[in-house]
A = this chain, B = another copy of it.
């Protein structure tokens, strides 16, 4: 930790590491520390194995929310606070924390560190990084304070001052960071029809899932037409994906007696809304996911794969990657040469990047699925759901998490890690980059 957070952390050995490598190593360090803290005797109320401590620490720092032990029962308040801290660390990005500490120490932030933060926030221009990080902390404190107040108003009367405020704090941090950890065994199922809980919690994770660059952009511009292309695509994409998911889930689950079937209409609407927005990539649930209809499960799997925004507290391939794939396909079908959105051309290199993200993501998912279909004794759909949930650091489960074999737990741990640092970042870390000086003539290939 000292090395990473020292005022000049890139002197010496670390200098030879690329920013994605430092990012990955930092995550690994925090997972190690988190595991040790959660394994302390007073962190849990019952015996917790090393693999379960590792699983929980990874799930928290990657803001996934998949759980092998019951957070509210098996962990002590100390353990729960450790989890909450890991979530806040993981959600806001380890690198931005490093920058904050450097700022607080009054040292000037160097170019190398900026590149690091840039990777962490997925920012491509160096200018404004420091300003962005400062703003990010201000935003986080403001948004979490407001949400905490509203949730306290709802929960203090129900649970009393101490318990109500603690529940409010934990769920505020968990929701804004898209972590999906809950102190209740059935997540938010007790509040399926509660307007306050539905509005506050979904506002937190949708906001967190947009990404900080979008929030900053909105803060400064205050006018949709002046927003960057990225912000416009994120907002429009998030809106339409959520509307689409809401209608489908409402229709599919309307008459399902195990989910929305027995609820009054208003609670049906809240339930459909909550389950429509949670797969990207919040991970709370207010109805039992394993009881949903198969087509709804299929939809949720696709939503989990798409995920949230770049530089956000969510994962997945990202909304913009999804939109770019769709736009590039439409462009090709229309026989146009350039992919255009909001009167801006999307670079070929951006499209190739989107393609690379999809290919690498599918490759990792296939490998993990392949291993789990060997080690786990469960229906394919349930295994697929678990793998995509880990990949998107979503945290929803059809019930497999608690039943996982040790190998299965290891696979899901690796998948959460890959999902959070991003499959492309990992692939970059592993790939040996080289420039080719030779140019070759092109030749046609038939496809499809």
Tell yes or no: A424 within 8 A of B by CB. Answer: yes
B298 touches A433 (CB 8 A): no
State how many copies of this chain the complex holds.
2
Known: A338-B439, A351-B355. 6 other contacts (CB 8 A): A297-B380, A333-B427, A334-B434, A336-B436, A338-B440, A346-B442
Mark interface residues in A276-301 (1 if CB within 8 Å of B CB, else 0).
00000000000000000111011100
Determine the distance from Cα of A447 to Cα of B433 in the docked complex, in whole angstroms: 20
Contacts of A331 in B (CB 8 A): 352
B325 touches A355 (CB 8 A): yes
Query: Which of the candidate stretches A100-108, A186-194, A310-318 sits at the interface with the other chain?
Result: A310-318
CB-contacts of A366-410 with B (<8 A): 366, 369-370, 373-374, 379-381, 384
Query: Which of the candidate stretches A145-153, A168-176, A225-233 sits at the interface with the other chain?
Result: A225-233
A440 touches B345 (CB 8 A): yes
Tell me whether chain A's interface is mostly helix, strand or loop, or mixed. Answer: helix
**In this complex, which of A298, A348, A428 has the most chain B Cβ atoms within 10 angstroms of its Cβ?**
A298
A355 touches B381 (CB 8 A): no
**Interface residue count on the A side (C-beta < 8 Å):** 86
Q: Which of B318, B338, B442 is in CB contact (< 8 Å) with A448?
A: B318
Determine the distance from Cα of A443 to Cα of B227 in the docked complex, in whole angstroms: 12
Q: Could you name 10 residue pairs across A and B whose Cβ atoms are closer than 8 Å?
A: A228-B443, A293-B374, A298-B366, A317-B448, A328-B355, A329-B360, A330-B431, A334-B431, A355-B355, A380-B384
**In this complex, which of A326, A340, A356 has the most chain B Cβ atoms within 10 angstroms of its Cβ?**
A356
Tell yes or no: A432 within 8 A of B by CB. Answer: yes
Assuming A381-B379, A447-B318, A447-B357, is B333 touching A431 (CB within 8 A)? yes
Contacts of A422 in B (CB 8 A): 448
A250 to chain B, nearest CB (A): 15
CB-nearest residue of chain B relative to A230?
Answer: B445
A286 to chain B, nearest CB (A): 23
**In this complex, which of A213, A373, A422, A443 has the most chain B Cβ atoms within 10 angstroms of its Cβ?**
A443
